[in-house]
Amino acid sequence: MTYKVEEIENKRIVHLNGEIDMDVADKARSTILPLIEAGHEVIINLSKVLYMDSSGISVLIESKKLSEKKNTKFELVDISKPVEKVLAMARKFL
Amino acid sequence: MSGLAQTNHTEKKDFLVRSSSLKDVRTFCREVFEKLHIEQNLKEELVLAIAEAAQNIVKHAYKDNPDTEDKMVVQISCNENKLQIGFYDMGTPVDPTKVKHREIDNVKPGGLGTFFIQEIMDAVEFKDGNKPWINHLVLTKKL
């Protein structure tokens, strides 16, 4: 997994790329959570994520919960088809 | 799915029990499903279920032994329109009665893997592991 963070005023757009599984979930978590913790509006661009498992979904759930606690905006955009499918299965937990 | 998926076919491969092997598990599965001509959507669902089961071995059966050199085996068999995926490991014995996905109203992260496996597969069964194996999980899907 690789990523790029784009900064636009208080927005941080995180472009994730590749496959997100248990092996890289901590890397994703340590990229996203500090941005939310710092009070930024965080947007996750998932257009180039080819695979995501339950570990990746867990990172998104944690991020959403933290943003609710910090009262900041957290959004997923340009969701790729493979991720949309997994999200649809996990929807009842989101 | 083509007629080839209806023929008898078995392949197995072993992997070091660690999270960095999960990508190799997925690659192995995709290669086998390619040979079986399983259609793309189903293929990716099956890959997810298998990778989640392998992840559970790393995460739970070897929770206290993360630097193990043990290997786990993944075996994919297709026989008369039935796909069977076997997992063998030598980790901590699994108590099948304690393997459940979490409650829907519990939004804490983690524990989703078992839910995905149950959503995707038709049957999930723990069998007695014959020596040297401790755990033997079998996932089944009718094609």
Count the domains in chain B. 1
Write down the pLDDT at residue B100.
Answer: 65
Q: Which of B58, B106, B116 sits opposite A22 (nearest CB)?
A: B58
Q: What interface predicted TM-score (ipTM) does this complex get? A: 0.90
To test the contact with chain A by mutation, choose from B21, B48, B119 the residue with the greatest count of A C-beta atoms within 10 A, namely B48
The DSSP H or E segment spanning B135 is strand B135-142
- Domain residue ranges in chain A: 2-93
Smallest CA-to-CA distance from A2 within A11, A15, B132 is with A15
Residues of A with CB under 8 A from a CB of B: 19, 21-23, 51, 53-55, 57-59, 61-62, 65, 82, 85-86, 89-90, 92-94
Note down the domain range covering B104.
Answer: 3-142
Write down the pLDDT at residue B126.
Answer: 93
Ranges assigned E (strand) in B17-108: 71-79, 82-89
CATH of domain A2-93: 3.30.750.24
Residues A15-60 have pLDDT tens digits of: 999 999 999 999 999 999 999 999 999 999 999 999 999 999 999 9
Residues of chain A contacting residue B66, judged by C-beta atoms under 8 Å apart: none
Out of B77-81, B103-107, B111-115, give the one with best mean pLDDT.
B77-81
- The DSSP output letter for A38 is T
Residues of chain B contacting residue A33, judged by C-beta atoms under 8 Å apart: none
Q: With pLDDT > 70 as the criterion, what percentage of chain A qualifies?
A: 97
- Residue B29 has which token pair? 């599965």
Distance CA B6, CA B8 (A): 7
What long-range pairs does B41-48 form, CB within 8 A, spacing at least 24?
Answer: B41/A85, B42/B1, B42/B143, B44/A51, B44/A82, B44/A85, B45/A85, B45/B120, B46/B83, B46/B85, B46/B120, B46/B141, B47/A51, B48/A51, B48/A53, B48/A86, B48/B116, B48/B120
To test the contact with chain A by mutation, choose from B16, B22, B39, B114 the residue with the greatest count of A C-beta atoms within 10 A, namely B22
What average pLDDT does this structure show over A4-13?
A: 97
CATH for B128: 3.30.565.10
